[in-house]
């Protein structure tokens, strides 16, 4: 029964878009069931289950997508995260969980990260991680050492196809096939893009935020440089200047009691609302489909967007 439930979540979250399913509505329907499943796992079996964890390794990107869900163009001084720190944080996270269905490595653009092979090897070596994804925009070719690290049946390279700007996607696909690496191209038709808006403060009360999070249905946790957040909007938004309450993330940057950290992960999964929801449109009527990967043409677009932060 457990595997059936997990496979159903995976189908709607990862595959449903290919047959025209409205993933946003389906996600919202499954969200209470997913949280109940996590509650059962923890309370009855003392298991910590995370469906999807994303780890950004760099803030550097080769594109400037206006509506990037990670808001990469708006980082004034993008940086790489220190590999030894990330490896330590990954060890601490893996020690505190029992299963991670999908561990997704991304950026920015992950193939721009010099030590990507070390992150991949660490993720693949953890028996608690079922699958590993590396998400790229199809503009860079990985180094030989990264290609060697990716030769594993647990790993899939996901190329987000943004048309002509993903100009190395076919070359990358061919190289992966030649090296026996699973690789898929997610076409612009498959890649659903929505705008979560800028980072201005929406001024909603607690009741409104609870309704919003329920409709959002987020099952993807963001592991941002050693801190586990409920979603990428919260983790990247915190770096850009929105308030970052300690209760809204689990901190693995310091060694801590495993039992306590497990409790905090469970509570993060069960939270009804977050302050970051007040800086986001997902789960509201303003969260609408948009054309994928529209590029920023003028610096003033970045300047004006950043002026909205926390206002």
The pLDDT tens digits of the residues spanning 226-250 come to 999 999 999 999 999 999 999 999 9
297 or 154, which is more confident = 154
Percent of the chain at pLDDT exceeding 90:
76
> pLDDT at residue 15 above 60?
no
State the pLDDT at residue 191.
56
Query: Would you place residue 133 in the very low, low, confident or very high pLDDT band (cuts 50, 70, 90)?
Result: very high
Give 253-283 pLDDT, tens digit per residue. 998 899 999 999 999 999 999 999 999 999 9
Task: Write out the two tokens for 275.
Answer: 């302050």
Q: Report the DSSP beta bridge partners of residue 102.
A: 52, 131
CA distance 194 to 217: 14
Residue 159, phi then psi, degrees to nearest 5: -100, 120
Cβ–Cβ < 8 Å for 283, 216: yes
For residue 228, the tally of other CB atoms under 10 A from its CB is 25
Find the range with the poorest average confidence among 27-31, 180-184, 248-252.
27-31
What's residue 103's pLDDT?
A: 98
Q: For residue 165, how far is the Cα from the chain centroid?
A: 22
> Which residues are bridge partners to 216 per DSSP?
none
Is the separation of the CB atoms in 168 and 141 below 8 Å?
A: yes
The two three-digit tokens of residue 6, written as one number: 């997990």
pLDDT digits (tens, 9 = 90+) for 189-212: 655 788 999 999 999 999 999 999
> Per-residue pLDDT averaged across 135-153, rounded?
98
Percent of the chain with pLDDT over 70: 89
What average pLDDT does this structure show over 280-302?
Answer: 90
Per the CB < 8 A criterion, the answer to whether 193 and 67 are in contact is yes
Q: CB of 99 within 8 A of CB of 130?
A: yes
Q: Do 142 and 120 touch, CB atoms closer than 8 A?
A: no
Element housing 87 (H / E): helix 83-96
Is the pLDDT at 20 greater than 80, yes or no?
A: no
pLDDT at 270: 95
Query: Which comes out higher in pLDDT, residue 173 or 297?
Result: 173
The predicted-structure confidence for 37-62, as pLDDT tens digits, reads as follows 899 999 999 999 999 999 999 999 99
75-124 confidence digits (pLDDT tens)? 999 999 999 999 999 999 999 999 999 999 999 999 999 999 999 999 99
Residue 209, Ramachandran bin (φ over 0: left; ψ between -120 and 50: alpha; else beta): alpha
Residue matched to tokens 């689990």? 250
Residue 19 has pLDDT above 60, yes or no: no
């Amino acid at each position: 029964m457990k595997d059936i439930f997990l496979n159903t979540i995976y189908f709607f979250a990862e595959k449903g878009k290919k047959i025209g399913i409205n993933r946003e509505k389906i996600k919202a329907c499954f969200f209470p069931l997913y949280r109940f499943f996590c509650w059962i796992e923890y309370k009855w079996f003392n298991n910590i289950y995370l469906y999807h964890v994303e780890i950004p390794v760099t803030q550097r990107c080769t594109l400037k997508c206006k509506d990037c869900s990670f808001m990469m163009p708006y980082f004034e001084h993008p940086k790489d995260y220190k590999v030894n720190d990330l490896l330590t944080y990954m060890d601490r996270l893996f020690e505190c969980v029992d299963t991670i269905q999908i561990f997704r490595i991304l950026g920015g653009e992950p193939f721009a990260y010099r030590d990507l092979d070390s992150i991949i090897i660490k993720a693949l070596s953890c028996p608690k991680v079922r699958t590993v994804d590396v998400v790229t925009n199809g503009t860079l070719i990985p180094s030989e050492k990264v290609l060697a690290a990716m030769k594993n049946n647990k790993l899939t390279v996901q190329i987000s196809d943004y048309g002509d700007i993903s100009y190395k996607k076919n070359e990358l696909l061919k190289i992966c096939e030649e090296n026996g690496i699973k690789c898929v191209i997610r076409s612009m038709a498959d890649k659903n893009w929505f705008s979560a808006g800028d980072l201005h403060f929406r001024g909603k009360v607690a009741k409104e935020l609870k309704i919003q999070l329920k409709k959002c249905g987020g099952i993807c946790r963001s592991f941002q440089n050693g801190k586990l957040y409920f979603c990428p909007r919260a983790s990247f938004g915190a770096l850009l200047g929105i308030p970052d309450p300690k209760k809204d993330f689990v901190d693995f940057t310091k060694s801590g009691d495993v039992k306590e950290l497990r409790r905090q992960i469970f509570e993060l999964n069960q939270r009804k609302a977050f302050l970051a929801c007040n800086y986001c449109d997902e789960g509201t009527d303003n969260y609408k489909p948009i054309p994928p990967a529209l590029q920023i043409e003028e610096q003033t677009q970045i300047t004006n967007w950043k002026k909205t932060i926390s206002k």
